[in-house]
Structure 1
């Protein structure tokens, strides 16, 4: 018999350990963190990380008229907490994070809207933004997939999304997910810009319009 739901306080609780109650409540099969280092100029290093949750799709078998909000509102904040706790631990705290992004992939028995219901909502995005001390909208990737996918998660600056040097992607390997009845949810972050970024920015661009097409050199 399924036990009745209980109320817990996750606001100040670390989810890095002892998450059995959380896993049972949201159908969590696996949590993982991928970390990479990108050497930059002058001996500097940018660290990038992706925190990945694989959960049972709570909407498998429902129709396209099914209301996704109740389960989304229940599960998305928990995923935001689980993933940001791991990003903060991997990268050294919110003050170290410069760029962020998010992604979700739904298995073959779900619909794309199921992935959207978990990440394209303030119940996820606002909490990720707050935890990582950002103000920008989170850039994203979403889709349908089978196990074995390589997902390229986009990131941009957490407070200045138009800062071109911080446009980057993080390749996330998903060797065993999502199963047909699962959803993969990812939050990613970086401590710096692209290595050797040097293509300028809006502050340095000269005005460009379609007039330049009149004098193209081939």
Structure 2
């Protein structure tokens, strides 16, 4: 089965001011989404390998689009996340198949390295429903300043037989972080934790 994309979109969110304080440079988050046909909508399938293979394609495609939208080089990416929403004729396991076995490696290549697990979420939903994409530091999970998220929504997706897949990449952490912990500059990225 081949990947059938109905539409894609990319957003960049920039925060310039927070609590009356200037954020310079602004914190930036990019989200790239693809609305794809769910080949298993309406039926049970034991083997979800085709969705896993689609996840691999989408990890690279959406990760690269985020990096391009931010106008950065891959090594300048600081955090990432992934999420999927399955339309009503699908099942939650379809989102898991897209996100987990194969999407991560091409996303890591798009952002260079990526030693930490890619935060993820999955849900069932319909057109216009919000989808949260969790974010975490790409190389060191203990960098608290990068625990974050971004919300996306498409007015016409996912339809009943579709899956909306989102990847987010940032070039910074939250604006005005002050909860302590390991900093981005201190992160070594050797074990995915520190």
TM-score range normalised by the length of the shorter chain: 0.7 to 0.9
**1:43 maps to 2:24:** yes
**1:26 maps to 2:3:** yes
SS at match of 2:103: helix
Aligned residues: 177
Q: 1:42 to 1:101 in 2, by over 3 A?
A: closer
Q: 1:114 to 1:73 in 2, by over 3 A?
A: closer
Partner residue of 1:143 out of 123, 132, 148: 123
Contact 2:60 2:109 in 1 (8 A): no
- If asked which structure has higher relative contact order (CA below 8 Å, sep 6+), I would say 2
Q: Which has the larger radius of gyration?
A: 1
Q: CA RMSD in A?
A: 1.7
SS at match of 1:189: strand
Large movers: runs of 4+ above 6 Å: none
Q: 1:176 to 1:199 in 2, by over 3 A?
A: same
Partner residue of 2:37 out of 49, 56, 62: 56
SS at match of 1:43: strand
Shift of 1:179: 0.2
Unmatched runs of 5 consecutive residues or more in structure 2: 184-194
Partner residue of 1:81 out of 43, 60, 77: 60
Contact 2:29 2:169 in 1 (8 A): yes
Q: TM-score, normalised by structure 2?
A: 0.85
Unmatched runs of 5 consecutive residues or more in structure 1: 6-24, 204-218
Q: TM-score, normalised by structure 1?
A: 0.76
Contact 1:151 1:174 in 2 (8 A): no
Q: 1:42 to 1:116 in 2, by over 3 A?
A: closer
Alignment of 1:1-218 (within 5 A): 25-39=2-16, 43-63=24-44, 65-69=45-49, 71-91=50-70, 92-121=72-101, 123-133=102-112, 134-201=114-181
Shift of 1:202: 5.9
Contact 2:137 2:143 in 1 (8 A): yes
